[in-house]
Amino acid sequence: MVFELPDNLHPDCAPVAWLLGRWGGRGKGDYPTIEPFEYAQELVFTHDGRPFFHYFARSWIVDADGEKVRDAAQEAGFLRCRPEGNLELVLAHSSGISEIWYGKAEVAKFELHTAGVGYTESAKEVTGGKRLYGTVNGDLLYAYDMAAMGQELQPHLWAQLERQ
């Protein structure tokens, strides 16, 4: 699917404009405190001309045939685009976690690191993370490393999504 640059895109958002739109696909997850799993996911990035994108993601656990087993995580927030490719992500999760992330956009990719994590008393203890997003042959690839539940920062999720 061809991506067209929006007319009202804020200049600070140009390095990550390729994210705009709806993405869908499958990924895998693993962590020492859980059983490995497969999931399907939908990501949506929208904008209104100001220097940020609204972000929403939802996922569901799938079986080996790709059939939905149950709903999984949701997250929503704002990817704030700053001058010179600098990025800030403000994110809230349905699981009771909120995070502040910082990073920098490069050509067709960016990496974010947590600057602060908060969680409700009923949420799992997440203490840090790293996210890598990139576009390869028109697909969105990402990886999420997490430090949680007394574990060191390590791979947790990875997926390949297609523009919808």
The per-residue pLDDT for range 60-87, each reduced to its tens digit, is 999 999 999 999 999 999 999 999 999 9
Q: What is the pLDDT of residues 133-161, one digit of tens each?
A: 999 999 999 999 999 999 999 999 999 99
Distances (CA, A) of 64 to 26, 28, 43, 68: 11, 11, 21, 10
Q: Which residues contribute to the annotated binding site for heme b? A: 33, 124, 156
- pTM for this one? 0.95
Residues pairing with 47 in the sheet: none
pLDDT band per the 50, 70, 90 thresholds, residue 4? confident
Mean pLDDT of 38-57: 98
Q: What are phi and psi of 16, to 5 degrees?
A: -120, 15
pLDDT, residue 105, reads 98
Q: What are phi and psi of 12, to 5 degrees?
A: -65, -20
pLDDT, residue 2, reads 66
Q: What is the pLDDT of residues 92-132, one digit of tens each?
A: 999 999 999 999 999 999 999 999 999 999 999 999 999 99
Q: Which residues contribute to the annotated binding site? A: 33, 124, 156
Whether 1 shows a pLDDT value over 90: the answer reads: no
pLDDT, residue 6, reads 87
Instruction: Quickly count: other Cβ atoms within 10 Å of residue 150's Cβ.
Output: 9
